[in-house]
Amino acid sequence: MADMITYREAVAEGLARELRRDSSVVCLGEDIGAAGGVFKTTSGLFAEFGKERVWDTPISEQAILGVAMGAAMTGMRPVAEIMFSDFFACCWDYLANEIPKMRYMTGGQVTVPLVVRTANGGGLGFGAQHSQAVENWTLAIPGLKIAAPSNPADVVGLMAAAIRSDDPVVFFEHKGLFASKGPAAPEGHVVELGKAAVAREGSDVSLVALAATVPMALAAADLLAADGISAEVIDLRCLVPLDMATVLASVGRTSRLVIVEENPFQGGWGGTVASIVADEGFELLDAPIRRVAAACVPLPFADALEQLVIPTVDGVVKAARTLVAY
């Protein structure tokens, strides 16, 4: 049996493997050096690779992405950490206007092969400015690839693919998953960007999820199974490229679709998935598409209130039962 590893440890492992493999890879961000990162996701990297490869930066998201972009344009493969995904707002010009457009605007003469890592998502009572799931922010910007792993092996595999990509990749690490455990990735493990996984097979309803909503959907599937409802769980892994072929194949098997996302309902990635299924797979459906998403409010600090705002296992179970009974 494979060794078990935490999601947090998998981030450091994935980075270490690529730092060893390719001397052009460097890491930069706030407190990622000797401190090992505020979430301990870069633990051990400074000791092994030193200050030449692991750069502590000032508290300036603009500086971090500006340096990363310049380094990437001149031949390096930087991995920049923005401590909380909410802080993308502080460096949005780089993320929206500069990094994703450079290759296009130079006719391919200049590539920007960088990864922006960030801690994303809620459920831990970090309050309105440190708990947002912001995949939908980056999804609105053409030119960015988007990865969001749900388990330790995928952290390592997607990290390898992201760092080796010649396009900029935003890599969302979910704060609520850092302590979770799963099998360690085998040596040389690479997960192609844009390939969804069938996390659980089923025949009655498809649950499409991403990052922290994947274990949520799996837990809901267990509860539904007790009722004799067979739920299939699809782990998207990436939003760009978006593997709609796997989603449509699943809907072809089950005829029902529940999309489970942590983004706010308004403008969430689930709206894109739903529209494509409605457009390309309408005849596969035996019931309306349902989205279980966060409410369109700032995230509360109080645990009890936060649980009313973000998706829950009970919410997924309720949506699935409604569709099966439709």
pLDDT digits (tens, 9 = 90+) for 281-320: 999 999 999 999 999 999 999 999 999 999 999 999 999 9
pLDDT digits (tens, 9 = 90+) for 215-225: 999 999 999 99
Q: Of 183, 212, 229, which marks where a domain is finished?
A: 183
The range of the structural domain enclosing residue 56 comes to 4-183
241 prior amide bond cis, ω within 30: yes
- Domain of 75, CATH number, reads 3.40.50.970
Distance CA 81, CA 119 (A): 9
Three-state secondary-structure class, residue 219? helix
- The pLDDT assigned to 230 comes to 98
State how beta strands 181-183 and 4-6 pair. Answer: antiparallel
Q: Does some domain include residue 190?
A: no
Whether 259 and 283 share a structural domain:
yes
pLDDT digits (tens, 9 = 90+) for 22-43: 999 999 999 999 999 999 999 9
pLDDT class of 1 with cuts at 50, 70, 90: low
Spatial CA neighbour of 141 closest among 35, 280, 239: 239
- Domain of 307, CATH number, reads 3.40.50.920
pLDDT class of 212 with cuts at 50, 70, 90: very high
Q: Does some domain include residue 191?
A: no
Q: What is the mean pLDDT of residues 249-268?
A: 98
pLDDT class of 52 with cuts at 50, 70, 90: very high
Whether 144 and 202 share a structural domain:
no
Q: Of 155, 183, 211, which marks where a domain is finished?
A: 183
The strand order across the sheet containing 25-29 reads 54-56, 25-29, 77-84, 115-120, 169-174, 145-147, 238-240
pLDDT digits (tens, 9 = 90+) for 185-207: 999 999 999 999 999 999 999 99
Exactly one of 9, 18, 61, 232 is catalytic; which is it?
61
Whether 106 and 163 share a structural domain:
yes
Q: Does some domain include residue 225?
A: yes
pLDDT digits (tens, 9 = 90+) for 82-141: 999 999 999 999 999 999 999 999 999 999 999 999 999 999 999 999 999 999 999 999
Exactly one of 130, 135, 189, 261 is catalytic; which is it?
130
Q: Does some domain include residue 189?
A: no
Q: Does some domain include residue 72?
A: yes
Q: What is the mean pLDDT of residues 174-187?
A: 97
Look at residue 2 and tell me whether its pLDDT is greater than 90: no
pLDDT class of 12 with cuts at 50, 70, 90: very high
Whether 218 and 165 share a structural domain:
no
Say whether 130 is catalytic.
yes
- The pLDDT assigned to 133 comes to 97
Whether 248 and 119 share a structural domain:
no
How many Cβ atoms from other residues are within 10 Å of residue 75's Cβ?
9
Whether 167 and 202 share a structural domain:
no
- The pLDDT assigned to 271 comes to 98
Distance CA 29, CA 60 (A): 9
Q: Kindly give, in sequence order, each residue whose CB lies less than 8 Å from that of residue 160, ignoring residues fewer than 6 positions away.
A: 14, 17, 18, 189, 190, 191
Whether 172 and 98 share a structural domain:
yes
Whether 27 and 170 share a structural domain:
yes
pLDDT class of 160 with cuts at 50, 70, 90: very high
Whether 29 and 88 share a structural domain:
yes
pTM for the predicted model, two decimal places: 0.98
Say whether 187 is catalytic.
no
DSSP secondary structure string for all residues of 137-196? HHHTSTT-EEE--SSHHHHHHHHHHHHH-SS-EEEEEEGGGTT-EEEPPPTT----TT--
Q: Does some domain include residue 249?
A: yes
- Between CA 239 and CA 37, with CA 14 as vertex, the angle to 5 degrees is 95
Whether 167 and 269 share a structural domain:
no
Q: Please tell me the total count of domains within the chain.
A: 2
Q: Does some domain include residue 188?
A: no
Whether 25 and 138 share a structural domain:
yes
283: which 2 tokens? 């005849």
Whether 232 and 151 share a structural domain:
no
Q: Does some domain include residue 192?
A: no
Eight-class DSSP state of 287: S
Q: Of 183, 213, 241, which marks where a domain is finished?
A: 183
pLDDT class of 324 with cuts at 50, 70, 90: very high
Q: What is the mean pLDDT of residues 6-17?
A: 98
